[in-house]
Structure 1
Amino acid sequence: MQTIATVCMFLAGKVEETPRPLKDVILLSYEIIHKKDPAAVQRIKLKEVYEQQKELILLGERVVLVTLGFDLNVNHPYKPLVEAIKIFKVAQNALAQVAWNFVNDGLRTSLCLQFKPHHIAGGAIFLAAKFLKVKLPSDGEKVWWQEFDVTPWQLEGWSLD
């Protein structure tokens, strides 16, 4: 499990265009995994221990890539968030900024595994409006939340979670 977690951190850096050298990922993850064993921090500095970890991580990387079908395309909620703010002509920069901050904070959780990107964007706008006590536009053919394929009840429920 720890090897796959290390592999996923290494791959995430590559996918998000913030790659870290494999050596740094190995050293840091080894240190975290063995934080209660100070001698382990020294062991990873031994060439044979490091090389063994490196081979394990590279093998794990291949396993994860094959398992995912080499599909590492990740859709983030930022695009639907920006599009919605433009569509609804929300003039308040504060609303856009707070919604953006909610998306940022949400990506540090398992939110992106639980919901689709456009649902996260809709939830962020909903929470930002609620937080700032701003009324979102509801005129026209579609009310704002329909743009995200969600209902007000879903948004309200998610905001309580």
Structure 2
Amino acid sequence: MEARVMICAQTFFHRFFMINNIAQQPSSVPAGPKRAGEPEHTPHHMMVAVACLFLAAKVEEYPKFLDDVVRFTYHFRHGKEATEALMADKEGALKVEKDRVLTCERLVVSNMGFDLHVTSPHCKLGPVVDAVLEVAAAEGRTDLVREHKSLLSLATNFLNDSMHHLICLQHRPTRMAAIALAMAEKFMVGKEKIKPFPRVKVDGEMVPWWCSMRIVDDDEAISSDMMRRYMKDFHSQVYRQDDDEAIS
């Protein structure tokens, strides 16, 4: 699966469990379809994950056959022998598994209010980095030009980590990209690989780059205090650290 599909699937997964209690799921994935009279449960999170992956592949125009999605995800969960037995029983166990994925997919779509639009913060990161580099190049900052690939890679890793937690839903994509870049800057400055990013002029005052709506392309500027809170919250949620200095 391409990265954009995985990001979309993770977003769908978090959206679903924002409004469904994961504690109410069954203790294991049911062996068959729901029987008449059985109580309703939140679907098992592994089945939700498979449904989100199948749905995301279609949304991102990278569709996969349901048989392939079931085969690979079942292999991940149960191993080679169990998967071979499943795929051999096309009219029995395999049909049940596929039906359960499709049922769960419909539930995910309806729970999200049929809103399948996802804007990845990853696609917003490149323009923010380019805007910072443009300012840096004008000031002759060769260190940022030299390390821009490492900077972009590190910020991307922070965004990847954020997708495992609800923080990925708590900020607009551009703002999430700015937070990841600020953390990458802090890390690389701490390692003495670069100097702090150049400050920019906003309303006649020299301010950090994230305060410029031209660079961040957000509806409102991010103050220094807000950015510190965002970074601290990122550490708390993603890395379970309360100290925003822990990254350096």
Normalised-by-shorter TM-score class: 0.7 to 0.9
Give the one of 208, 211, 224 matched to 1:146.
211
- Kindly indicate whether residue 60 of structure 2 is the aligned counterpart of residue 60 of structure 1: no
Deviation per residue, 1:7-41 (Å, 9 max, x gap): 01112222333332211111112222223x83453
Judge conservation of contact 2:54–2:69 (CA < 8 Å) in 1. yes
- Kindly indicate whether residue 197 of structure 2 is the aligned counterpart of residue 136 of structure 1: yes
Amino acid at match of 1:45: A
State the distance in 1 between where 2:68 and 2:83 align. Answer: 16
Deviation per residue, 1:51-108 (Å, 9 max, x gap): 1211211121111111111212112223432333344324334454234323432344
Counterpart of 1:127 in structure 2 is: 183
Residue identity over aligned pairs, in percent, reads 26
What's the offset of the Cα at 1:152? 4.1
- Kindly indicate whether residue 145 of structure 2 is the aligned counterpart of residue 101 of structure 1: no
Amino acid at match of 1:105: N
TM-score, structure 1 length as denominator?
A: 0.78
Structure with the higher fraction of residues in helix conformation: 1
Residues 102, 70 of structure 1: alpha-carbon distance in 2 compared, 3 angstrom cutoff: farther
State the distance in 2 between where 1:120 and 1:99 align. Answer: 15
Residues 152, 70 of structure 1: alpha-carbon distance in 2 compared, 3 angstrom cutoff: closer
SS in 1 for 2:88: coil
SS in 2 for 1:140: strand
TM-score, structure 2 length as denominator?
A: 0.54
Counterpart of 1:47 in structure 2 is: 90
SS in 2 for 1:133: coil
Amino acid at match of 1:38: E
State the distance in 2 between where 1:30 and 1:93 align. Answer: 45
Amino acid at match of 1:69: G
Unmatched 5+ residue regions in structure 2?
1-43, 138-143, 217-221, 236-243
Unmatched 5+ residue regions in structure 1?
none
Paired residue total: 160
